[in-house]
Structure 1
């Protein structure tokens, strides 16, 4: 049943995962894995407050850092931000360090507008685990939120050396390069990301924006049309790419943009 719950979580069938994990817990109240899965399913459904009580019991009983980290996430989800931060600070003080707790604490601090503290938390995690790619990626995103593009780029270049095939690193680096106006290098990074995830419509739309800025209108518009075929949720991104580019197009109505992207005469 736990295996089925784990599969449901990975497939984003959160209600099913919740039901299965709850059944396991009813049979065995001390099952830490079931408590963890139940909490993750509830958090994914924005019902973090319901996860607090079972997580508190499991944390007192086991002292498991993953349970403590989830408790911090649940407290934050329920709007109890300061309690969440204090809980997560205790978890990040553990040795050996539990790196997901550093990520969660940094996220909670960033949501509270305390970005400098969030950066310090991630850097302290990296001091213990310098090769932690996920922490490097979080650090770059925090720098970018401060518009510290040179710092973000330096972190991402180092991360790319360690994990050259990770699309999330490539797209984050491409985003920095795009903001800096280095459209050719950004387009190259987006192409490498698409080689790993060819169905990533948002990345394809971002590539299209680079191509339009480079004056490659036909290729840019072809990529926008390909991205738009993935779903109407890409209409806004495609419209912005067309309107904001120095080599794009302007439309008076969203319906006209959609018609253009579908290749219909207008």
Structure 2
């Protein structure tokens, strides 16, 4: 229920009464991570990982180690975890994410491919792999992976949104617009997808519809205003604002 402080208090109480309670130690670690207290989360998660040896707990421990600045230990832990069987896909995802965070994209891609070889239909691994290829501007590989993922999971909003983004980069605006519409039908309140849809419409020359979409994405969301302004300024049929009052007038129009 997103009440990590209370979860911490309850889990700590259980551990005071029974130090060997693995579930309480794991929950305490999770609660501390949610409060950005990774260094404190390491101790209970180490204790829980020693007792239950589960891939899930070990992955949480690796997240805590990385958050505490102990990167090499986190990677070592994840190497051990991804070697376990049955495979635990979130461990492969976390391993790849930590590698990519430090510029080791080749290793991250290799890790994701290894995970997909063991668990071929895990969409989260496919999306992350596609994003790494997209970061290298290898759009054909990214698009092929996402199209494969969409065929297996046609109702996944995240796959649709990412695939549409690749289509925009390819200049395939018609296909992108249709894919964005499918994504928004599944999650109408996704502001970022709505803003990207607006950009796509602008690139197609549908200025009025594009501006309506971008305006809707920013309305009531201060964090989206910068994105909206940038979208309008960098697209072929967008706008450029000289004064903050002009921005406010446009967004409230």
TM-score by length of 2: 0.95
Q: Which ranges of structure 2 fall in alignment gaps of 5 or more residues?
A: none
| Aligned equivalent of 1:5 | none
Q: Deviations over 1:120-152 (max 9, x none)?
A: 001001111111111111111111122211111
Q: 1:212: Cα distance to partner?
A: 0.7
> Aligned Cα RMSD in Å?
1.5
Aligned pairs for 1:89-108 within 5 A: 89-108=79-98
| Aligned equivalent of 1:3 | none
Match among 77, 82, 106 for residue 116 of structure 1: 106
Match among 141, 152, 167 for residue 177 of structure 1: 167
Runs of 4 or more consecutive aligned structure 1 residues displaced over 4 Å after TM superposition? none
Contact between 2:49 and 2:58, CA under 8 Å: does it hold in 1? yes
CA distance 1:210–1:106, shift in 2 (3 Å)? same
| Aligned equivalent of 1:166 | 156
Q: Distance in 2 between matches of 1:27 and 1:77?
A: 28
CA distance 1:231–1:56, shift in 2 (3 Å)? same
CA distance 1:215–1:165, shift in 2 (3 Å)? same
| Aligned equivalent of 2:215 | 225
Match among 69, 83, 92 for residue 73 of structure 2: 83
Match among 186, 193, 196 for residue 196 of structure 1: 186
Contact between 1:72 and 1:87, CA under 8 Å: does it hold in 2? yes
| Aligned equivalent of 1:251 | 241
Q: Distance in 1 between matches of 2:160 and 2:24?
A: 35
Q: Distance in 2 between matches of 1:26 and 1:90?
A: 30
Q: Which ranges of structure 1 fall in alignment gaps of 5 or more residues?
A: 1-7
Q: Deviations over 1:73-102 (max 9, x none)?
A: 111111111110001000111111111111
| Aligned equivalent of 1:13 | 3
CA distance 1:21–1:178, shift in 2 (3 Å)? farther
CA distance 1:257–1:87, shift in 2 (3 Å)? same
Q: Distance in 2 between matches of 1:255 and 1:62?
A: 59
Contact between 1:75 and 1:84, CA under 8 Å: does it hold in 2? yes
Q: 1:24: Cα distance to partner?
A: 3.3
Q: 1:203: Cα distance to partner?
A: 0.9
1:134 is the counterpart of 2:148: no
Q: 1:255: Cα distance to partner?
A: 3.7
